[in-house]
Structure 1
Amino acid sequence: MTLPVGVAALFAAFPGLPLQSKGSPLDPVLAPIYALLDLWSLLLGALGDATGIGLLQYGFMHRAILVGLCIGVMAPLIGTFLVHRQLALIGDALAHTAFAGVAVGLFLNGVLSLGVSPYLTAVVVAVLAALLIEVISETTDAYNDVSMAIVLSTGFALGTVLISLNAGGLAVGINQYLFGNLATVSAENAAILLVLFGIIVATVALTRNQLLYVTFDETAAEVSGISVAWYNRVMVMLTALVVVGAMQIMGVILVAAMLVVPVAGAAQVSRSFTGSLLISVVLAELAVLLGIGAAYYGEATAGGVIVLVAVAIYVAAVVVGKLLSARGDDAAPELGSIETGESGSSATSD
């Protein structure tokens, strides 16, 4: 494989970097990101040697930590909008359809030997499912929760059918997609996650004001000329990308927790939307790092440990919020009422 000039220069500057690609068809496209992953691994390895921390001695943990750090940013970034729009359960629906996407990828690899990444097919299927949820809500009389239930059931049914066919050993290793696994975060999957991370952060940065307006007052947003339907679709598509990215270490069953629990905790101690967003990222990062460490040393499933840590942090945030309220501090709002930070006004998510 011929490396781009910038990537080749990076390897010339750090001759000890091993290229982490594994002969995937995506290697030429992801080569610059592989180089960054190798540099990240080199830095964490050096930190592990200097500190004697065991989990920093392994390449798969380097990738898992990086993926966790990205999840700790992008999940609350999108989850904050979802929680205040009362769409917290959409993560579950899209996680189950992402599982169907994984099954499609495994099926194509087993039957047609395409060599496509199951996480890449999961991205495509999850995004299509997200759009389908919106289409069902807009074109029928069904409420959002009904459309989510329909898509969730359909997606998981499709996934289980494809898995049950067992074509080419399809059922092998499926537990890693259901429950997540630190050891199976490959270089290719980590690189795909970094691409998704960039797309999510850039999109939210460019459309923050519109998304905020639609979140708190759809009617006023429509009157002001904002295409509410379009930004609703943007939000659900971003949610699909977060779900697929987080599925690597959280698994299908627990992935939605990172969209909701840190945001709910942050809402206990912050009144402004921006403050809630920032605090939720901090809480999510704390849950991810502590959870990964505890899972590694306790030899437990990472997704479950991370969620338990996140819930413990949420409980602590509730206690802090109650103490602040008892002292008459205005920093502890109700979840349904939070200041947007725009023009000093307050809006509700009802």
Structure 2
Amino acid sequence: MNALVGGPLQAGPIDTALAPFYWFLTLWSQAMSWVAGATGLELLQYPFMHRAVLVGLCIGVMAPLIGTFLVHRQLALIGDALAHTAFAGVAVGLFLNAVLELSVSPYLTAVVVAMLSALLIELISEATDAYNDVSMAIVLSTGFALGTTLISINAGGLAVGVNQFLFGNLSTVSAENAAILLVLFGVIVTTVAVTRNQLLYVTFDETAAAVSGLSVTWYNRIMVMLTALVVVGAMQIMGVILVAAMLVVPVAGATQVSRSFTESLLVSVVLAELAVILGIGVAYYGEATAGGVIVLVAVAIYVAAVGIGRLQRRLGDDPALELDTIAADDGEATSD
């Protein structure tokens, strides 16, 4: 079954755990092949593009789902910090494989390192009373320093392999990586669905949330760990350098035409999916780097959203004017 979706022929413990997702990837590939035959789209004729499109669609949901909370909490740059630590996690995985001859997925080590780094950002902020941007800067620089050090130690073995993680690559989305992404997608969507009201309350009024009995620290940690998972998942096609853009740009565009938090979240998902689909198509036919094209398309959509927002205001249908003026739903809280 793994061979049908580009996975390894010999199943190990990880492949056994991911078996249901390999099965889904097989069905997805068959569906995309049917669409390719019905429409004549060249990019859907190849298994690696089937996986790339699926990963892109998942990113189009995950990134704005978490990014909407981050932007309204003024934590937009945390994605950049965690991307650099995820890069360190990739370097750790590649280093272990090259030096110790292990067979570990760099994406799994990236997940572990990114989540530990997310917790470290919160712990530094709590233990030292430093602002979040200070703790993010410390973790970002440490993570990137670790990654570059490991690469320099074994430059010949790692330099080539790390480029795909820095810039993203549609053709290197393996079945295993796509299956891991599906796991991350399920964890992120389920967690947000279960804790949505609590996260919303903490986002708009931490003090009131604490007084009401919510563990603000706990929900802050949930948010940064979910961000780490999004970053690692999106890194496959966006690359470390551009991954943070998908957490911010679609959300920024959605706030120009939305009046409530829920509306902003839904619109940002639509804008992100549009950017991903158009970006992958343009990148494939133009033989360009997918991450860069997706971000450029997302920025173009943002500019269009700004124009639509201004047109709405002139017509008297006034949307939310700034990021911090979007009201929380159900009157639970409003931003300052």
TM-score by length of 2: 0.97
1:35 to 23, 27, 44: 23
Matching of residues 8-47 of structure 1 within 5 Å: 18=4, 20-22=6-8, 23=10, 25=12, 26-47=14-35
Deviation at 1:19, TM superposition (A): 5.3
Is 2:101 aligned against 1:109?
Answer: no
User: Within 5 Å, which residues of 2 pair with 1:152-301?
Assistant: 152-166=140-154, 169-301=157-289
Distance in 2, Cα, partners of 1:93 & 1:124: 15
Amino acid in structure 1 at the alignment position of 2:257 = V
Query: Which residue pairs with 2:334 in the alignment?
Result: 347
| 1:144 lines up with 2:95 in the alignment | no
Once residues 228 and 200 of structure 2 are traced to their aligned partners in structure 1, the CA distance between those partners, rounded to angstroms, is 19
Please state how far the C-alpha of 1:60 moved relative to its aligned partner.
Answer: 0.4
Partners of 1:19 and 1:130 lie apart in 2 by 32
Offset of residue 24 of structure 1: 5.7
- Structure 1 residue 32: Cα displacement: 1.0
Q: Where in structure 2 are there 5+ consecutive unaligned residues?
A: none
**In 2: Cα distance, 1:243 partner to 1:19 partner:** 24
1:14-53 per-position Cα deviation (integer Å, ceiling 9, x unaligned):
xxx9254313631111111101101100110111011110
Aligned residue for 2:178, secondary structure, equals helix
When residues 326 and 346 of structure 1 are mapped into structure 2, their CA distance, relative to the original with a 3 A threshold, is farther
Partners of 1:54 and 1:290 in 2: how far apart?
15
Amino acid in structure 1 at the alignment position of 2:314: A
Pair 1:316 & 2:300 matched: no
Return the alpha-carbon distance in structure 1 between the equivalents of residues 38 and 101 of structure 2: 44
What's the offset of the Cα at 1:346?
5.7
Q: Which amino acid aligns with 1:78?
A: I
**Contact 1:273–1:340 (Cα < 8 Å) also in 2:** yes
Cα separation, 1, equivalents of 2:179 and 2:235: 14
The residue type equivalent to 1:207 in the other structure is: T
| Distance in 2 (alpha carbons) for counterparts of 1:151 and 1:247 | 18
Matched with 1:5 is: none
Name the CA distance, whole Å, in 2 between partners of 1:140 and 1:134: 10
Distance in 2 of aligned mates of 1:20 and 1:36: 13
SS of alignment partner, residue 347 of structure 1: coil
RMSD after superposition: 1.3
In structure 2, the partner of 1:6 is none
| Alignment partner, residue 290 of structure 2 | 302
Structure 1 or 2: larger helix share? 2
